[in-house]
């Protein structure tokens, strides 16, 4: 398996899975994709139906990472996807499935269900990929006798998923910046209660944008970056995307009886990482009818899939919503899909994403390319605060199930795309406890709290307060690496 950049660099070079594992963008600013998607023939798909999650993950990943010896990869997936890591289940019997499918009911002739992706250590779907990344990083670093210092900025989900994936891993340190006093008490406690010596929480006196600017400033200091072996684990990381492909297969098998059936998925979306994995599963041959992109009030992606216009938003047009992990101004993985949509033409991708930087976007409405969106199964919709409150209330009253705000956006949009006879699987991306305020507003009661999180906010916290100054952060890192 060879990897290329969506903008064309290195077309004549060889990049293996391991080569791109610890990197971010390709050197031309593009994103890595395999030269072609591996296909899963019918006999193989039939054989996969009964596999455990860990073994299914091995089968999917081995198609993309043929440079990792099979025995090593299998022990990595078995170590990652175990019932005791994904133990925050609401139904004990479902724990062994890692991503249990919860059937809600039949609406408009379609079986509607939730694929639970948030039973991991931080109660958000990002654990699904990040936990594998932690084990892959440790494996790769050990093999080459190297170390890595991960620098990131977070307003909640990504940072805690990264810390819980990297805690205690040999050769890895995490420096995570968050806006001091601006995360919820629950999210703050989740991150700051970690006592592992390789995890550093930096509470920045400023907002989330200040945190991101510091990460950018440090990353642009190439000498510092090289000297201190700085890396990132953001959503463009290829291994994260590919790890997410697995649960589309798992969800499909859980919702169907035979491989002649088709299903649709609805994906609460922000940076387009999750639904990009669904697109890849479909390109590999998974019988997917529709991929429904659900956005919140930050509807960059919904606008594109309805009109063909991709227009990134400025800071003043990016809303702080009650599904905050989908509050994005541009979708960092979207370029991967555009590459496929344009028939894998790197010169055109380069031009379009130059237009994004220079003119704030591009318009494919007039070109024949936009019509092809349908061939890829994509449709979309958007949800507002009132919609998500309604969806949380309705699902609780009708089915007795409590859902979080992001999943509620997905459910609202899924209902606009139901087709009789086609099961609709909504990806559940977080548990309600993380977004308690909106649960209280919708249901006038407290969110469900998994037993492992009782008393979380009372645990001792470990963090350092720093000014919003990249030089101070650099000195902090330098002292500890």
* Interacting residues with ligand PLP (CB under 6 A): 124, 126, 157, 235, 268-274, 325-326, 406, 429-430
* Distance between CA atoms of residues 418 and 454, nearest Å: 38
* Distance between CA atoms of residues 120 and 328, nearest Å: 24
Residue 119 or 271 having the CB closest to ligand PLP? 271
Buried b (16+ CB within 10 A) or exposed e, 76-115: bbebbbbeebbebbeeeebbebbbbbbebeeeeebbbbbb
Which of 63, 79, 102, 126 does the annotation list as catalytic? 126
Instruction: Find the helix packing angle between 185-192 and 157-166, rounded to 10°.
Output: 20
Residue 8 or 377 having the CB closest to ligand PLP? 377
Q: Is 434 a catalytic residue?
A: no
CB of 409 to ligand PLP, least distance (A): 8
Residue 113 or 235 having the CB closest to ligand PLP? 235
* Distance between CA atoms of residues 242 and 365, nearest Å: 30
User: What secondary structure letter does DSSP report for 332?
Assistant: T
* Distance between CA atoms of residues 4 and 32, nearest Å: 5
Q: Which residues lie below 8 Å from residue 258, measured CB to CB, with a gap of 6+?
A: none
Which tokens hold the place of 314?
């400025």
Residue 280 or 477 having the CB closest to ligand PLP? 280
Decide if 365 contacts 307 (C-beta within 8 A). yes
| Residue written as token pair 């890849």 | 280
Which tokens hold the place of 411?
């459910």
CB of 325 to ligand PLP, least distance (A): 3
CB of 430 to ligand PLP, least distance (A): 4
Residue 7 or 330 having the CB closest to ligand PLP? 330
> What is the chain's percent helix, strand, coil content, to nearest 5?
45, 15, 35
CB of 429 to ligand PLP, least distance (A): 3
Decide if 31 contacts 336 (C-beta within 8 A). yes
CB of 236 to ligand PLP, least distance (A): 10
Residue 151 or 430 having the CB closest to ligand PLP? 430
Which residues are 115's β-sheet partners? Answer: 101, 427
CB of 41 to ligand PLP, least distance (A): 29
| Residue written as token pair 């809600």 | 104
Sign of the C-alpha dihedral, residues 276, 281, 283, 289? negative
Residues labelled catalytic: 126
């Amino acid at each position: 398996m060879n990897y290329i950049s969506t903008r064309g660099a290195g077309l004549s070079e060889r990049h293996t899975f391991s080569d791109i594992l610890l990197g971010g963008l390709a050197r031309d600013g593009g994103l890595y994709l395999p030269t072609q998607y591996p296909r899963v023939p019918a006999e193989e798909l039939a054989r996969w139906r009964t596999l455990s999650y860990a073994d299914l993950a091995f089968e999917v990943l081995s198609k993309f990472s043929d440079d990792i010896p099979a025995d090593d990869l299998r022990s990595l997936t078995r170590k990652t996807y175990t019932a005791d890591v994904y133990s925050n289940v609401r139904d004990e019997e479902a724990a062994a499935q890692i991503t249990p499918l919860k059937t809600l009911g039949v609406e408009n002739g379609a079986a509607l269900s939730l694929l639970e992706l948030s039973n991991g250590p931080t109660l958000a779907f990002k654990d699904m990929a990040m936990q594998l990344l932690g084990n892959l990083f440790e494996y790769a670093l050990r093999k080459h006798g190297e170390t890595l210092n991960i620098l990131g900025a977070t307003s909640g989900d990504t940072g805690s998923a990264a810390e819980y994936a990297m805690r205690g891993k040999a050769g890895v340190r995490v420096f995570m910046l968050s806006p001091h006093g601006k995360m919820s008490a629950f999210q703050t406690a989740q991150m700051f209660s970690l006592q592992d010596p390789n995890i550093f929480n930096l509470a920045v006196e400023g907002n989330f944008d200040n945190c991101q600017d510091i990460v950018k400033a440090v990353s642009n200091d190439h000498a510092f970056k090289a000297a201190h072996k700085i890396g990132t684990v953001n959503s463009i990381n290829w291994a994260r995307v590919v790890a997410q492909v697995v649960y589309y297969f798992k969800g499909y098998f859980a919702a169907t009886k035979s491989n002649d059936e088709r299903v649709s998925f609805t994906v609460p979306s922000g940076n387009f990482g999750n639904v990009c994995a669904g697109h890849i599963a479909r390109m590999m041959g998974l019988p997917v009818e529709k991929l429904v992109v659900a956005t919140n009030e930050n509807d960059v992606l919904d606008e594109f899939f309805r009109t063909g216009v991709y227009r990134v938003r400025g800071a003043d047009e990016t809303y702080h919503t009650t599904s905050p992990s989908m509050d994005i101004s541009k979708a960092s993985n979207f370029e991967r899909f555009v590459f496929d949509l344009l028939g894998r033409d790197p010169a055109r991708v380069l031009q379009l994403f130059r237009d994004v930087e220079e003119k704030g976007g591009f318009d494919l409405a007039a070109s024949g390319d936009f019509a092809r969106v349908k061939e890829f199964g994509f449709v979309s919709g958007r949800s507002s605060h009132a919609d998500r409150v309604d969806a949380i209330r309705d699902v609780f009253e009708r089915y007795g199930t409590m859902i979080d705000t992001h999943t509620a956006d997905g459910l609202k949009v899924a209902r606009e795309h139901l087709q009789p006879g086609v099961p609709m699987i909504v990806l559940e991306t977080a548990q309600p406890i993380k977004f308690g305020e909106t649960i209280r507003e919708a249901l006038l009661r407290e969110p469900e709290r998994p037993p492992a999180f009782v008393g979380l906010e009372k645990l001792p916290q470990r963090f350092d307060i720093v000014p919003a100054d990249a030089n101070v952060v650099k000195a902090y890192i330098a002292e500890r690496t």
